[in-house]
A and B are shown apart, each in its own frame.
Chain A
Amino acid sequence: MNPSASKLRAPLAILAAACVAAAAPAAAESEIGAVGASAPRIEGTPPELDPRVLETGVRVIRNERIQTSDSGVGQILFDDQSTLSVAPNSDLTLDQYVYNPATGAGEISMTLTKGAMRFIGGRITKTQDAVVRTPTGTMGIRGGMALFTVQDDGSVEVVNLGALYVSVKTASESLFLSRASAFAVVRPNGRIVFGGKRDLQQTGADFALFKPRRGVVSPKIATFIAEANNTSPAFNEAGATLRVPVSTDGADNDNGELVADDFVDLLERVIFDPEFEVEVEAAPPPEDSGPGELQQALRAVALNTLLVDSIGFSEAQADEIASEYGVFVPQSDVIRILTSNGLLNDQTLADSVRWRVLRQNGFEADFVPNPELATFLLDRWEERGRPTRFLKRVARIAATEALETSPKAQKAVLRRVRKELRIENPEASIADAKAYVDALSPEDRAAFDKKARNRLARQILNKKIKPDLEERRARVDDLSTPD
């Protein structure tokens, strides 16, 4: 670095910091909340400033315009505990926001010009309507939740998701929706049409508006998941959440009960959900042409973590098992490979780091490469009692392998299809079943295969099916019991 340039930078940095500090009080006064989630990203344009990317945690400003792309969804948290979810292809402006934390009173208003938003009221709406202006009318929300969608024809659809009421007003008409799922359409000419109650199909479509294509990038959640395991104090502490009675009758306090007995299950699913995806820019895309060096390293980390942390083998045993199944990579090589790919920066493979690495790269590395190893892990895991999500994934891998290679498994699938066909045609044969399956469209076939795989996986988990791998197993019998 040029020393003179370095000398210049210090005063400039101080000057810049001073400018920022001077501007901070004004900015703080107009801050009204923060971005709770952004998937993959949403944009904000503060008044008289350039557009900016609204990352999770960024403070939002009064009068800021929020825009989303055709794949962007997000959630804004307001200071009064109100929240606003924004659907793709939306455009709205946070107009007025005044909140007095001491009294809980305030005002909140916004303008939705395009797309859809879901508003959940916080403290302000307990005493004051939140106002949503749309191209066709003005809505008010008191104490609860509502959904607003600007349609292509300019109409606005309003759904009471569970508010004390949602008022709908135009220049000529007004309507109050004060039951959950009641909805109305406000026509461009100002007419308000009460639509009745939202049915299940319509509600499903409403949900789809806010479903991100993939999970939001969140290093904090990735780290949490990486560090959590079902024996750590932190995990159990968090697992106590939501263990409160939830009324089953919606209004009164009798017969309350909670659906999920044990919220630890929820966290376990957070950890073991195979659909969970976290993107890390440093992670290279998976290679299509077989496992590369990085994939081999990740597979080794995964297998080692499973064998040592989850099942209880010693490091030496784990290495021997990995060698037996042809997936052993020396730890020094693993550290080198992960470091060179930007996945490690401290040259160690602590437990938390291992889990983080695995999570950040998903399980796309397919760390259980063959059904023999899958069966081996299944057997060891039986000693842990109930199946975990991880175990289920292992079972699915074994099921996939069986369906591809085992005529017996394939015939079992066809017999099941035949059983279905015989509801309509008692004479249906295996050949008919095969013809039926062959005639499926690629999409239906994929769904069919997935269903068959999951069914077989369940059978494997329930020990109804066990691949015959005695010979292989015999060779590792002396390693089957953890120290």
Chain B
Amino acid sequence: MSDRRMPRRGAGAGAGASVALLSATLLSLAALLFAAPAEAQSKAELSARQEALYQDLLASPDDPRIMFEYARVSAELENFEGAISTLQRLLLFQPNNTAAKVELGALYFAIGSYTISEQYFREALAAPELDNSTRIRIGSFLAEIERRTATNRFEGEVILGAIASTNAGFSPSTSEFSAVDGGTITLDSAEQEDAGLRLRVSLLHSYDLQRPNDDRWDTEIDFDGRVYEDSASLNFAAASIRTGPELSVDPSITGLKVRPFAEAGVYSSDDRITFYTVGGGAEARAAFDDQWSASGEIRALWRAFAATEDDQFDGVESRGVASLRYAPGRNLAFRATGLVEREDAQFSGGRSTAGGGQLSGVFAYDAPIADIRQKWVIDVTARAIYRRFDAPDPEIETGVRDQVDMAVGASHRFQLTEAWGVLAEIDYQIREASNKIYEFRALTGGLSASFRF
């Protein structure tokens, strides 16, 4: 994508705050990394405990104390099969034990076996002695089961809130630069603080292909828009749609899945449509075990600018992304992502090759408020992308441009109910370039309400 539209005018950002944020983000990521061994050790200890309990069970299969403890440890280890087999054995002793059926419903739900989960829940509901609060909770599970087992499934999220940035237009700190011919280039804008509203909408339609596996046809629609208070020229919006079937290559439910897709998008800035994209590609994902998984994507998009004077930037964006995910426990996960990208355009200064990577960590914990039965999630990310252009822009530079985009960010999702939550985000971006006209720093923060459906 062209950088010519980025530089404007303005003043410098607070360097002290930036360094502090950068440090805090990296420290947070490091803290999550250090938490991984502890999580793994805890899992190993639980696993050893589970094995010891199982040996006790083999000696005394009908000892209810061992049964309950084994079921508890198994569920904590996410070895739901162990808990299921134990509670099913309890039902051999007590065929009408309603509470065991409720637990089995939840356990089968946890492994995605929804019909069996529903069967257990409905058997439990048929018991007249079941208390009302459990009935209500079962009702919410049944509603979710109905949604998840529908042939056509819709889900989405709307995020609406306030946003503030030290550099809303990602512009350089000054508006005046030396031109190649010795003159001066004066940009119409530079770094500019601003605040406004942000709206992000994600929609997913999933169509069950009714095959012996989980193959489905997914269609995603995304919209992201920002409206600023002081300067309408900084307003930005992007909408895209991607559709394609996810198909199993490997027979295992966690095995290799491939998804060819078609994609189209439209982007606007300054309240005008800037360019369109259309293209396609393929995604792939696979899990190696219960901790490691990988995903990747290749795609190519034809990009066409709306204004005729920008025709020279029409071209093709090609991208390859590969990610490796490590989840040492149910509440902690890390992802390392590598990226290569090639942009081609009629204008030689608009052609570039980029490569980079991103590290992210996600930590989920129980909300510390008694009445909120949700997980709250902290997400920390750091990324760096190096880009080299094929040729200089003859108007403003003599040599080939190199630039590095770096960013660190963190978000905290305070989920209040299944549907409603609050999202706090902060993000610091820096671009270092061989030509100062392309450099910028921006600290952006947002506070939004989110609604999931």
* Given the contacts A178-B251, A215-B92, A224 and B64 also touching, CB distance less than 8 Å: yes
* Given the contacts A145-B81, A250-B112, A178 and B248 also touching, CB distance less than 8 Å: yes
Binds B, one of A131-139, A254-262, A291-299, A360-368: A254-262
- In terms of DSSP, what is the predominant structure of the interface of chain B? helix
* Inter-chain contacts of A248 with B (CB < 8 A): 109-110, 141, 144, 418
Binds A, one of B22-30, B55-63, B199-207, B263-271: B55-63
* Inter-chain contacts of A458 with B (CB < 8 A): 128
Q: Which of B82-133 contact A (CB under 8 A)?
A: 82-85, 88-89, 91-100, 102-103, 105-116, 118-119, 122-123, 128-129, 131, 133
Find A259's partner among B81, B82, B92, B102 (CB 8 Å cutoff). Answer: B102
Contact with A along B199-236 (1 / 0, CB 8 A): 00000000000101110000000000000000000000
Contact with B along A235-256 (1 / 0, CB 8 A): 0011011111111101101111
A120 within 8 A of B: yes
A144 within 8 A of B: yes
Binds B, one of A33-41, A280-288, A312-320, A341-349: A33-41
Identity of the chain B residue whose Cβ is nearest the Cβ of A213 in the assembled complex = B95
* Given the contacts A197-B115, A241-B68, A178 and B137 also touching, CB distance less than 8 Å: no
Binds B, one of A7-15, A73-81, A109-117, A428-436: A73-81
Interchain residue pairs with CB less than 8 A apart (19): A34-B59, A37-B62, A57-B59, A77-B57, A83-B89, A85-B88, A144-B111, A162-B108, A165-B252, A197-B149, A200-B115, A200-B118, A241-B71, A245-B330, A245-B366, A250-B109, A253-B333, A254-B377, A275-B96
* Given the contacts A35-B61, A162-B116, A203-B115, A250 and B110 also touching, CB distance less than 8 Å: yes
Identity of the chain A residue whose Cβ is nearest the Cβ of B327 in the assembled complex = A253
Identity of the chain B residue whose Cβ is nearest the Cβ of A275 in the assembled complex = B96
Task: Please report the C-alpha to C-alpha distance between residue A283 and residue B59 in the assembled complex, in whole angstroms.
Answer: 27
* Given the contacts A255-B415, A275-B94, A184 and B330 also touching, CB distance less than 8 Å: no
* Inter-chain contacts of B148 with A (CB < 8 A): 250
* Contact across chains for A255 and B418 when beta carbons are under 8 A apart: yes
* Inter-chain contacts of B418 with A (CB < 8 A): 248, 255
B375 within 8 A of A: yes
Find A221's partner among B64, B71, B331 (CB 8 Å cutoff). Answer: B64
* Inter-chain contacts of B32 with A (CB < 8 A): none
* Contact across chains for A215 and B94 when beta carbons are under 8 A apart: yes
* Contact across chains for B113 and A181 when beta carbons are under 8 A apart: yes
Beyond A81-B82, A267-B68, 7 extra complex contacts between A and B, CB < 8 Å: A75-B85, A122-B81, A212-B92, A225-B64, A246-B106, A254-B377, A270-B97
Find B93's partner among A204, A218, A258 (CB 8 Å cutoff). Answer: A218
* Contact across chains for B64 and A273 when beta carbons are under 8 A apart: no
Least distance between A116 CB and chain B CB atoms (Å)? 14
* Inter-chain contacts of A204 with B (CB < 8 A): 119
* Contact across chains for A240 and B374 when beta carbons are under 8 A apart: no
* Inter-chain contacts of A269 with B (CB < 8 A): 97-99, 129
A161 within 8 A of B: yes
Identity of the chain A residue whose Cβ is nearest the Cβ of B70 in the assembled complex = A241
* Contact across chains for A179 and B213 when beta carbons are under 8 A apart: yes
* Inter-chain contacts of B298 with A (CB < 8 A): none
A155 within 8 A of B: no
* Contact across chains for A33 and B85 when beta carbons are under 8 A apart: no
* Inter-chain contacts of A79 with B (CB < 8 A): 58
B253 within 8 A of A: yes
A92 within 8 A of B: no
Most interface-central of A39, A163, A220, A225 (chain B CB within 10 A) = A220
Please tell me the size bucket of the interface on A: 35 or more
B373 within 8 A of A: yes
* Contact across chains for A75 and B88 when beta carbons are under 8 A apart: yes
B262 within 8 A of A: no
Task: Please report the C-alpha to C-alpha distance between residue A34 and residue B85 in the assembled complex, in whole angstroms.
Answer: 14
A276 within 8 A of B: yes
Identity of the chain A residue whose Cβ is nearest the Cβ of B120 in the assembled complex = A207
* Contact across chains for B330 and A220 when beta carbons are under 8 A apart: no
A471 within 8 A of B: no
* Contact across chains for B84 and A145 when beta carbons are under 8 A apart: yes
* Contact across chains for B97 and A273 when beta carbons are under 8 A apart: yes
* Contact across chains for A196 and B61 when beta carbons are under 8 A apart: no
Most interface-central of A194, A242, A273 (chain B CB within 10 A) = A242
Size of B's binding interface in residues, CB under 8 A? 87
* Contact across chains for B93 and A216 when beta carbons are under 8 A apart: yes
Q: Which of A200-222 contact B (CB under 8 A)?
A: 200, 203-204, 207, 210-212, 214-216, 218, 220-221
Least distance between B397 CB and chain A CB atoms (Å)? 46
A403 within 8 A of B: no
* Contact across chains for B62 and A253 when beta carbons are under 8 A apart: no
Identity of the chain A residue whose Cβ is nearest the Cβ of B68 in the assembled complex = A241
Identity of the chain A residue whose Cβ is nearest the Cβ of B77 in the assembled complex = A244
Identity of the chain B residue whose Cβ is nearest the Cβ of A73 in the assembled complex = B92
Task: Please report the C-alpha to C-alpha distance between residue A273 and residue B254 in the assembled complex, in whole angstroms.
Answer: 40
B75 within 8 A of A: yes
B134 within 8 A of A: yes
* Given the contacts A179-B253, A254-B375, A56 and B62 also touching, CB distance less than 8 Å: yes
Find B92's partner among A39, A220, A270 (CB 8 Å cutoff). Answer: A39
Task: Please report the C-alpha to C-alpha distance between residue A240 and residue B119 in the assembled complex, in whole angstroms.
Answer: 26
* Contact across chains for A120 and B84 when beta carbons are under 8 A apart: yes
* Contact across chains for A194 and B58 when beta carbons are under 8 A apart: no
Contact with B along A185-199 (1 / 0, CB 8 A): 000000000101111
* Contact across chains for B252 and A255 when beta carbons are under 8 A apart: no
A356 within 8 A of B: no
Find B112's partner among A73, A180, A197, A242 (CB 8 Å cutoff). Answer: A180
Q: Which of A113-161 contact B (CB under 8 A)?
A: 120-122, 142-145, 161
Task: Please report the C-alpha to C-alpha distance between residue A244 and residue B110 in the assembled complex, in whole angstroms.
Answer: 12
* Inter-chain contacts of A199 with B (CB < 8 A): 115
A177 within 8 A of B: yes
B138 within 8 A of A: yes
